[in-house]
Amino acid sequence: IGGSGTLDTPIVLKGEYLNKAKISEGGKKLRKNWTSTWVVLDTDKLLFYKESKQEALTNLKSGARTDWVDLHGAMVEWTTERSSRKNVVQITTSSGSEYLLQADNYSIICKWHDAMKRTADSLCTT
Ligand code: I3P
């Protein structure tokens, strides 16, 4: 993986619709609310877009992004405890926010788990 994106011009490594729930922020528990979100994995962060894939792709530079996650120091792990759903990956950020990403299709979410983990692990040296 070469180069590095910025918030304004993300380098898209992977983009897909996943179910997303933010369950805590800065260590404080939030009410769980699953939403289908276009998720983009950049070289050092995850970006979430509310819009359709087409809109998200054409609006990558604009304010269509709803939230993002810094993967420096983040933990990416499978969880069976934080949800009754299957195929759930938990992302815990260094600032103590927790996100759940889920897809019914195991092979889809498995690729995300591996890619996010690899990305987070690769950031130790940058
Ligand atoms: C939540 C909603 C979520 C569920 C969550 C419930 O209720 O049913 O789908 O998470 O379970 O609290 P509400 O809509 O009233 O907030 P899962 O689908 O991931 O199980 P939880 O509280 O055990 O996380």
Identity of the amino acid at 56: A
Q: What is the band of 124 on the pLDDT scale with cuts at 50, 70, 90?
A: confident
Name the pTM for this structure.
0.83
Q: How many residues does the chain have?
A: 126
Ligand 1, atom 13, lies closest to the CA of 32
CB of 14 within 6 A of ligand 1: the answer is no
Ligand 1, atom 23, lies closest to the CA of 83
ipTM of the complex: 0.88
CA gap 69, 41 in Å, rounded: 10
Are residues 65 and 38 in contact, defined by beta-carbon separation less than 8 angstroms? no
Kindly state the average pLDDT of the residues 5-24: 78
CA gap 5, 35 in Å, rounded: 26
Cα 32 to ligand 1 centroid, rounded to whole Å = 6
